[in-house]
Structure 1
């Protein structure tokens, strides 16, 4: 299966799609540091990225006719700053809004499917009309805005067209969902919006994969069976006490928790337990990207991530990394920064994937990335459905 990826960043989404069987014909990213990370991994012989065709340029300047093959998937995460809760909230008034460039790519390449990731801020009340505009423009890419037409007027035309049931040459069935990465085995509570579209002529009947991991199962694993602590070799004397509220909850709803169990949420400890403590500098430095960074401190609202839960959302920050967002909360009550390798684990990058920049730059790239395993799960579901549709068409044709 063939794909094109826009706004590639350090490659989280691209790695997940590659693991799912998509071959990238082009990856477009303008940030020189992110491109350097990808090229460094190509030089290091990382198999998944060896044949990537990386274009270091603005997507607005990319000529899609240079990709002369038909593609199965168009993927990308348009810059989130216009919609991020931590940003300026400019949305369509922000010149960093790159959704129009994704629309241009859909119209030009006519992919069988597309996959978009963005921040949950896209669903804020202030942006809800623009979010509708995004989904309708993706559904009807041929209905382009007129010269100097305000997007709200274009939205009205899109709404009328969408409700008219008119036939068109190119259209997509669009589905979106707010997903928490922890619900899919990523050791991080990270909520992001995913938008998926299948070309209407395929008559696809696709839905998002159901969650595979739950907080309830983690509660059961810790406080009922004790399997979590045994798995990590933590004896009963060293285990924390079950919180009183949680004990009461288990007494009330224990049977319901058992009945709803899938796999337990993955915790920070699950992700990094086999790494040497970063404070043990002489041993830790033998692990690539596992370098202790001093100076972490806790302050209101920024207290670090506890070891026994999925991490808080890793963030890139606007001007470097915000001090409290990417920290580990130790049992002693102290905090320290995650190393780059630990943060990469929390975003499920493979250990062979190396970040050559300094700590702040590497954490920016990691914080901006899509968790690799979550990207893989969604892309695999899309790819499997495309293959099933192709097989169905062949069978119908043979009959």
Structure 2
């Protein structure tokens, strides 16, 4: 029964992200890259006056997801990426059994943070199309994951089922073989597009018809993360009683900027429940304007790339989509401070981008800058995953 309420592998090619850009735009990017290299060289030689102090962030995402005691619920993670779902469930008290991810560098990230975890990554061991899921039957309480979402991305071409990167069938196969108590699947808002209603019904709802499924939307900024990042979740319970108990997480925070500017938001007594704007979260100076970041993306596909937090209210208002440009983001705050962006705007470090996404600095990412940005930009904000995990455990009475 199924209830929906309002509350050899093609996968090996799926990790090859293709950027279709014109020769003019490619030349433009090369010019930007050249200017960036020259500016960085001058900064390293001390030819520029230092305009920024090393920032000290005021936001610690760990505060948004206090560590819970073990609830003894065992999880299996598919399409694990940089670990957003895994970290959120870990902080909520779940026991990690295994993670599967195609991209090899993600294993290094996981083991740098949780050396005892079992992580299978790369084409040989992380390809979910080649795993015999029967070995996990009866051993897993919760399966969670975010099947590759590019086919349904609002910003993409929305090819859906016809796109080889669509891995929903592999997720549903694992669920139907292992038969966990509950599954949690996350994806992009593109799946809410009416053109995909048929896909959702046939390949998600009907494909896991033994589960009572709730579909809902969550925004990271509602849970203290300084970013507009909206995602759709599917939570399915094997037992209808658990499904009826499950509650969609209520927002825990309200945006500080919205609270200040809107006459329609009642004042909040507990100031700890305000979502910081980006500048405040990162410990930057007050310029009289602050807001949460737009959605972080993992690559660059247009002219609106950013490597910095703009130092003017006009610049902040026109920030646009946060297309993070790997060549400009610095590996640490010392380098970011010494190497200001064009116009002396504050340059972002990898640690800062992690905070904007809801990752605590204690969660270390492996790889070069572009690999780290890919892991961060494709992840669920951990505090969002945490709140879903807490309510799932409550529904299972743990």
Could you say which TM-score interval applies, normalised by the shorter chain?
0.5 to 0.7
2:218 is the alignment partner of 1:179: yes
Cα distance change on mapping 1:311 and 1:91 into 2, 3 Å? same
Cα distance change on mapping 1:372 and 1:307 into 2, 3 Å? farther
Cα distance change on mapping 1:322 and 1:54 into 2, 3 Å? farther
Q: Is the 8 A contact 2:297 2:378 kept in 1?
A: yes
Shift of 1:323: 5.5
Q: Is the 8 A contact 1:268 1:307 kept in 2?
A: no
The match for 2:310 is: 329
In structure 1, C-alpha distance between the alignment counterparts of 2:100 and 2:224, rounded to whole Å: 28
Gaps of 5+ in 2: 1-72, 316-342
In structure 2, C-alpha distance between the alignment counterparts of 1:371 and 1:210, rounded to whole Å: 16
Cα distance change on mapping 1:203 and 1:362 into 2, 3 Å? closer
Larger radius of gyration: 1
Cα distance change on mapping 1:201 and 1:189 into 2, 3 Å? closer
Cα distance change on mapping 1:260 and 1:117 into 2, 3 Å? farther
How many residue pairs get aligned? The number is 289
The match for 1:342 is: 352
Cα distance change on mapping 1:16 and 1:138 into 2, 3 Å? farther
The match for 2:32 is: none
In structure 1, C-alpha distance between the alignment counterparts of 2:375 and 2:253, rounded to whole Å: 26
In structure 1, C-alpha distance between the alignment counterparts of 2:365 and 2:222, rounded to whole Å: 26
In structure 2, C-alpha distance between the alignment counterparts of 1:201 and 1:123, rounded to whole Å: 24
The match for 2:120 is: 55
Alignment of 1:86-101 (within 5 A): 86-101=155-170
In structure 1, C-alpha distance between the alignment counterparts of 2:266 and 2:81, rounded to whole Å: 39
Corresponding residue SS for 1:8 = coil
Q: Is the 8 A contact 1:187 1:270 kept in 2?
A: no
Q: Is the 8 A contact 1:348 1:372 kept in 2?
A: yes
In structure 1, C-alpha distance between the alignment counterparts of 2:178 and 2:363, rounded to whole Å: 30
Alignment of 1:5-84 (within 5 A): 5-39=77-111, 41=112, 46=113, 49-56=114-121, 57-67=126-136, 69-84=138-153
Cα distance change on mapping 1:138 and 1:14 into 2, 3 Å? farther
Deviations 1:230-259 (A, max 9, x none): xxxxxxxxxxxxxxxx5xx63xx4xx5338
In structure 1, C-alpha distance between the alignment counterparts of 2:366 and 2:384, rounded to whole Å: 24
The match for 2:294 is: 312
Corresponding residue SS for 1:212 = coil
2:374 is the alignment partner of 1:368: no
Gaps of 5+ in 1: 141-170, 223-245, 277-305, 389-399
Q: Is the 8 A contact 1:9 1:365 kept in 2?
A: yes
Candidates 192, 200, 207, aligned match of 1:131: 200
Corresponding residue SS for 1:82 = helix
Shift of 1:356: 2.7
Cα distance change on mapping 1:113 and 1:105 into 2, 3 Å? same
In structure 2, C-alpha distance between the alignment counterparts of 1:310 and 1:385, rounded to whole Å: 32
Q: TM-score, normalised by structure 1?
A: 0.66
Q: Is the 8 A contact 2:212 2:240 kept in 1?
A: no
